[in-house]
Every structure is written in structure tokens, then in C-alpha cells.
Amino acid sequence: MLTVGDLMTRDVVTLEETDDLVRVDDLLKLNHIRHLPVVREGRLVGLVSHRDLIRALARQLAAHQSEPISVARIMSRDVEMVRSDLPVRDGIYKLLDHRFGCLPVVDRDRRLVGIVTEADFMRMAARLLDAASARRDDSAGVSAP
């Protein structure tokens, strides 16, 4: 059985609650990602998305604020998290049912061990479609280009 642990990214870029929006923006751009888990002593305490950053910047502009905004003020605290042994199918339905863009993966102590995103599931789907297509072509006697 394929699990979330088989697909997840293990080397996760993270934030701390004291980081500011500039750091969020820098990390999102530099790493070409849309979600940043927030950790305290290795344990997941929140999540900041690209959408959260845009919303916070818009509010900061509207309020004419110039003081830095901390990650702690904009992060989602009630984050759905999963264990690495969760079957992939369950992870997919969790994303679809709740319209999540990612699922942080934690151990029993809520220590962040990875993250699985929509893109990870899409890559898996593409590989499965390619394999199915190759099997179909092989059984029909069609040679690959």
C-alpha cells in the first residue's frame, strides 16, 4: 500500500513564529513553494500559505501600517496534519474534501517529518497515467516513440 510517507517531501522549509512577512515572501519565492509550516522546537504549531501572505499584506496596506507583521499573527493554528503511514488514497480525499493545498506530516509527538502537497499527488497521478498508457500500448503492440 502506498502511503503519504512515500510521497512526502522530507526536507521541509519552515518558519518560526517570530519571523516576519519579508521572510515568508523570501522563502516562498526562493523555494518556489506555496506553504510554509511554522514550528516551535521542531513541533508543528501553524501553517502560512501564499494566500495568507497576500491577505496580510493587503491588510497592512489598507491600515497604512509600517510595523513588521509576525508569522504568529497570520498563521493558521488549527492545521490538519497526518501521519506518514496514512494511505495515499485517504490523503487525497482529505485534500479534496477540505480543499487543502497541503498536509503537514508529523510523528506521534507532532514533530514535523514532512509535507505532502497537491503537486505531489499530481506527480503521482501523472506517473500512474504514464504507466497505464505504456501497458496499454504494449498490449496493443504499439511501440513507444
- Average pLDDT score, the chain: 93
pTM for the whole structure:
0.85
> Is 25 part of any domain?
yes
In a domain, 40, yes or no: yes
Residue 49 maps to which CATH number?
3.10.580.10
Q: Is 144 among the domain residues?
A: no
- pLDDT value at position 86? 98
Domain count, the chain: 1
Residue 32 lies in a domain: yes
pLDDT digits (tens, 9 = 90+) for 90-118: 999 999 999 999 999 999 999 999 999 99
Would residue 82 count as lying in a domain? yes
Q: Of the candidates 35, 26, 21, 29, which has an alpha carbon nearest to the alpha carbon of residue 116?
A: 35
Domain with 127, as residue range(s), is 4-139
Does 145 fall in a domain? no
Q: Express each pLDDT in 22-57 by its tens digit.
A: 999 999 999 999 999 999 999 999 999 999 999 998
Q: What span, in angstroms and rounded, lies between the C-alpha atoms of 77 and 52?
A: 12
